[in-house]
Structure 1
């Protein structure tokens, strides 16, 4: 009993700390009034590269290719962590990351670019808070834009309605209604999750990411 209470307290503390850090960073970065045109989602490059399994936890976030990233509203950090835990621990879809876990020291737009380019699937957490935050709405449309313009990103944006405080379908922006959403309280949720997160698709995207990263490092090294 003592161990369980200790774990719950630790998890609660982690989520609150993550939420506070995320909120403070949002407030600081939004004051900088960034130019949206400065953000790039990257370009496709043909390359063959060997696949290696997930790196050690000591590596920088930018050196890890995630199976999924969860984009979420400021007030949904705890809910995003819960969904992350379900996907990783119940369905063994790992590694995964939520946007609040992106490293500090970078602008929000930089982190968004890194999150989208360094993950195979983008999960949009559709709660009632979605319509309350322009920044989260912007994240969602940016990920959709990437899915439309980058061949390897097609069909990788996954709207998800969690069982807690879900955004009703009739209030969902029209562009998101056209995409089949994961519904946590649906009887077919587990089957749908397994159908979406295919290993072959993950490896294909990881190869593309690794190739792009290798080319970028070469460009920086030789000053191209």
Structure 2
């Protein structure tokens, strides 16, 4: 991201911000609430469009006009406030918006198998058949992570990922981040907690 500027009425959220990340590393954006870090990442994910500046992926300029474009480019985001349908299963939530079909029939069986495979590969331990309303907040966050993996994200943004987690769930998240990096993913953490950065740096290379 080069010279990104974004303004809202009466507020300059980002003023010529430049950010460069390296593949298969964990990066952190640290700053107080209102510092503009979430806005910057929302631009990368296509939720906002910058007033000026450019985004380059592998050295090539890209236009990210909405989250669908970001997803197609391999960029995923785990929001602080989860975007899940409570009375849907884990699998149904993950495939929502890109439901697999065989002919004219919804093919949830193959999707469920893929979700189970990804869950095992990354040590997420999520039941594909569980209802969202029946699982913990930490498990719901893992469903959001699975949504990005199911869509083949290579860059995953985490917005304040420990804000709603218990200490045990935070420990488990650190292990998940390590597994994601080991599988070649690039991680961007948005946080206002210096302690969170220390937790990650103690366990992972940041």
TM-score (norm 1): 0.27
Structure holding more helix per residue: 1
Higher relative contact order (CA 8 A, sep 6+): 2
TM normalised by structure 2 equals 0.28
Higher strand share: 2
